[in-house]
């Protein structure tokens, strides 16, 4: 009876009425047990490392990255970042004393937050394992017995550093160095939490591994560091969901993700990000694909005041394949500068980029892409499609490609199309009994179908519902 009451209480949290404009716009009163306060200096870096009991080599990496960060300029392209005051950011906060493996052990206030996001339901129905990051650290981690039996390592990156330091050291920063850009350097200096995932040789995880992240306080930075290693002949489908409440103070999300896909392996990395409109989402994501390996980025971006994100694949092995499939929605006050980078470093490699963007109410959606065929990359192929629907005269969209071919046997195809919703299509649907609003939503859902069909079922349903809410504003 007690368990039934607890379950009913959780369901009430999930089903209670939430703001129509931004479903996850609620706030909770949970206070961190520790914070470094605002601003960043070398003392803060040392304090973060000491609180985490890190090895000396990690502290050296952090300090070197911090000094690089101070020297690197802000990006000179994309959205205006001049209003982002990095001196007011809180770079590290601990929400609880320790990560927990059982949902029942999570503090009640944090539990309420994730109940409203939907973690318990997703776990009961779909998850092979779940980890939730609340502010800087992972607070909830559940690894199914089947994963352990298969030898899959799935935990927050801080725990991996303690338990598997040699494995972390082997891969950390090998794809994304602090010199990559200012925010990659910042992440390397202050990183906390994130996901560590290792899939052994020949292991195929049939159920997606899913992780949830949340920023709960204004003027808060979230700097998760994710490392994924898919060993030879293995496969994994990793799904990440992100939300944040709508605070008046700007928050910063500057994640770094490194994915290593070994020979004959497969990895799909899916992100559905639904930040509130006061978050700066400035991320660096890069993968390497060895011989006959496949790396897929499936990337959804809704909300956030300004987004700069260009998931990349370094095609290092012969017959390696990279896919980037993205959808972005920008309404008033939202600037989406997203795209992809594909570097063909070996013969017979291939890549596909499909970008879908929707703008309304003065929103901005830009596609910024880079594809390069090296001198030794014989017989490589790349196909790029950029489609945008602009729903009014206030919105804006640009396609900014940079394609380089240094090999006469390789080819790049690029298609770009910007359009409004067809009046003929609207007329046809409305003649079948739909209202104009219903017909418009149906056309938009069909437009993003190449993206949504690659999502696990519950994420496809959630994406459709979120876009429906965006369309209704």
Cα–Cα dist 389/287, whole Å: 29
Q: Residue 443's pLDDT band (boundaries 50, 70, 90)?
A: confident
**Residue 435 in domain:** yes
241, 459 Cβ separation under 8 angstroms:
yes
Helix (H, G, I), strand (E, B) or coil at 152: coil
**Is 179 a residue whose pLDDT tops 90?**
yes
**Is 100 a residue whose pLDDT tops 90?**
no
Phi, psi for residue 200 in degrees, rounded to 5: -65, 170
Which range (97-106, 178-187, 216-225) has the least confidence? Answer: 97-106
CB atoms within 10 A of CB 198: 23
Q: Residue 436's pLDDT band (boundaries 50, 70, 90)?
A: confident
What is the 8-class DSSP label of residue 98? S
What share of the chain in percent tops pLDDT 90? 47
What is the 8-class DSSP label of residue 97? S
**Is 129 a residue whose pLDDT tops 50?**
no
350, 382 Cβ separation under 8 angstroms:
yes
267, 205 Cβ separation under 8 angstroms:
no
Helix (H, G, I), strand (E, B) or coil at 208: coil
- Who has greater pLDDT, 458 or 299? 299
pLDDT of residue 277: 79
Give the CA count within 13 Å in the CB-facing half-sphere of 343.
Answer: 13
The pLDDT tens digits for 215-254 are 566 666 789 999 999 999 999 999 887 665 555 566 899 9
Please report where in the chains the tokens 């390497």 appear, as a residue: 288
- Who has greater pLDDT, 178 or 106? 178
Which range (109-118, 307-316, 383-392, 427-436) has the least confidence? Answer: 109-118
Cα–Cα dist 103/108, whole Å: 10
**Is 144 a residue whose pLDDT tops 70?**
no
311, 282 Cβ separation under 8 angstroms:
no
**Is 158 a residue whose pLDDT tops 60?**
yes
Cα–Cα dist 288/322, whole Å: 9
**Residue 467 in domain:** yes
- Who has greater pLDDT, 391 or 168? 168
Please report where in the chains the tokens 């729903």 appear, as a residue: 391
pLDDT of residue 446: 76
- Who has greater pLDDT, 28 or 340? 340
- Average pLDDT for 272-298: 92
pLDDT of residue 137: 55
Helix (H, G, I), strand (E, B) or coil at 252: strand
255, 280 Cβ separation under 8 angstroms:
no
Which of the listed ranges 127-141, 278-292, 416-430 does the model predict with the highest average pLDDT?
Answer: 278-292
- Average pLDDT for 146-172: 91
- Average pLDDT for 30-36: 69
Cα–Cα dist 170/15, whole Å: 45
**Residue 438 in domain:** yes
260, 288 Cβ separation under 8 angstroms:
yes
pLDDT of residue 242: 66
Number of structural domains in the chain = 1
pLDDT of residue 340: 96
Domain coverage including residue 436: 424-473
Which range (391-395, 396-400, 427-431) has the least confidence? Answer: 427-431
Q: Residue 438's pLDDT band (boundaries 50, 70, 90)?
A: confident
355, 365 Cβ separation under 8 angstroms:
no
* Tokens describing residue 457: 């079922």
pLDDT of residue 202: 96
**Residue 263 in domain:** no
**Residue 18 in domain:** no
pLDDT of residue 240: 85
**Is 426 a residue whose pLDDT tops 60?**
yes
Cα–Cα dist 205/423, whole Å: 45
Q: Nearest Cα to 159, choosing from 194, 122, 125?
A: 194
**Residue 434 in domain:** yes
- Average pLDDT for 390-417: 90
pLDDT of residue 191: 95
Contacts of residue 419, Cβ cutoff 8 Å, sequence gap at least 6:
387, 388, 389, 390
Mean pLDDT of the chain: 82
**Residue 468 in domain:** yes
**Is 368 a residue whose pLDDT tops 90?**
yes
The pLDDT tens digits for 167-177 are 999 999 999 99
**Using N-to-C axis directions, what is the helix angle for 108-117 and 2-15, rounded to 10°?**
60
Q: Nearest Cα to 271, choosing from 338, 363, 333, 217?
A: 338
What are the C-alpha distances in Å from 429 to residues 380, 391, 443?
42, 17, 9
pLDDT of residue 9: 42
pLDDT of residue 256: 97
Q: Nearest Cα to 51, choosing from 76, 70, 32?
A: 32
The pLDDT tens digits for 243-276 are 655 555 668 999 999 999 999 999 999 988 877 7
What are the C-alpha distances in Å from 315 to residues 202, 243, 282, 343?
21, 31, 24, 6
Q: What is the DSSP string of 346-361?
A: STT-EEEEEEEEEE-T
What are the C-alpha distances in Å from 427 to residues 237, 432, 437?
40, 9, 12
- Average pLDDT for 14-39: 57
**Residue 469 in domain:** yes
Q: Nearest Cα to 86, choosing from 180, 186, 184, 176?
A: 186
Cα–Cα dist 61/303, whole Å: 33
Which range (73-87, 153-167, 459-473) has the least confidence? Answer: 459-473
pLDDT of residue 246: 53
Please report where in the chains the tokens 């089903």 appear, as a residue: 15
Q: Residue 184's pLDDT band (boundaries 50, 70, 90)?
A: very high
CB atoms within 10 A of CB 84: 17
Length of the chain, in residues: 473
């Amino acid at each position: 009876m007690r368990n039934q009451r607890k379950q009913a209480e959780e369901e009430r949290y999930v089903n209670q009425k939430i703001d129509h404009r931004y479903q996850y716009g609620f706030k909770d009163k949970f206070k961190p047990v520790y914070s470094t306060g605002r601003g960043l200096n070398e003392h803060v870096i040392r304090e973060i490392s000491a609180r985490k009991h890190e090895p000396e080599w990690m502290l050296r990496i952090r300090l070197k990255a911090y000094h690089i960060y101070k020297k690197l300029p802000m990006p000179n392209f994309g959205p205006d970042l001049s209003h982002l005051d990095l001196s007011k950011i809180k770079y590290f906060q601990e929400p609880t004393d320790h990560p927990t493996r059982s949902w029942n052990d999570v503090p009640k206030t944090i539990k309420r937050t994730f109940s409203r996001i939907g973690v318990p339901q997703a776990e009961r129905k779909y998850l092979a394992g779940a980890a939730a990051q609340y502010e800087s650290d992972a607070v909830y981690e559940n690894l199914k017995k089947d994963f352990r039996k298969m030898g899959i390592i799935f935990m927050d990156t801080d725990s991996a550093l303690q338990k598997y330091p040699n494995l972390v050291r082997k891969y950390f920063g090998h794809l994304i160095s602090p010199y990559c850009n200012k925010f990659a350097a910042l992440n390397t200096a202050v990183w906390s939490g994130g996901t560590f995932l290792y899939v052994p040789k020949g292991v195929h995880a049939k159920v997606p591994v899913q992780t949830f992240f949340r920023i709960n306080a204004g003027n808060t930075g979230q700097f998760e560091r994710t490392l994924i290693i898919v060993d030879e002949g293995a496969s994994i489908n990793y799904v990440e969901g992100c939300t944040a409440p709508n605070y008046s103070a700007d928050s910063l999300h500057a994640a770094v993700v490194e994915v290593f896909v070994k020979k004959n392996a497969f990895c799909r990395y899916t992100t559905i990000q639904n930040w509130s409109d006061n978050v700066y989402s400035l991320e660096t994501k890069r993968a390497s694909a060895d011989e006959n390996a496949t790396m897929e980025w499936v990337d959804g971006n809704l909300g956030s005041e300004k987004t700069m994100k260009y998931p990349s694949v370094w095609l290092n092995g012969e017959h390696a394949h990279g896919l980037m499939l993205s959808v972005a929605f920008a309404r008033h006050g939202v600037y989406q500068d997203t795209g992809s980078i594909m570097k063909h470093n070996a013969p017979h490699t291939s890549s596909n980029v499909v970008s879908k963007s929707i703008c309304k109410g003065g929103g901005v959606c830009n596609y910024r892409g880079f594809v390069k065929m090296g001198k030794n990359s014989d017989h490589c192929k790349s196909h790029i499609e950029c489609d945008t629907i602009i729903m009014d005269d206030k919105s804006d969209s640009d396609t900014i490609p940079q394609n380089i071919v240094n090999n006469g046997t390789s080819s790049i195809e690029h298609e770009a199309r910007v359009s409004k919703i067809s009046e003929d299509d609207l007329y046809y649907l409305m003649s079948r009994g739909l209202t104009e609003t219903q017909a418009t939503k149906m056309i938009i859902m069909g437009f993003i179908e190449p993206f949504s069909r690659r999502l696990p079922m519950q994420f496809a349903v959630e994406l459709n519902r979120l876009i429906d809410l965006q369309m209704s504003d």
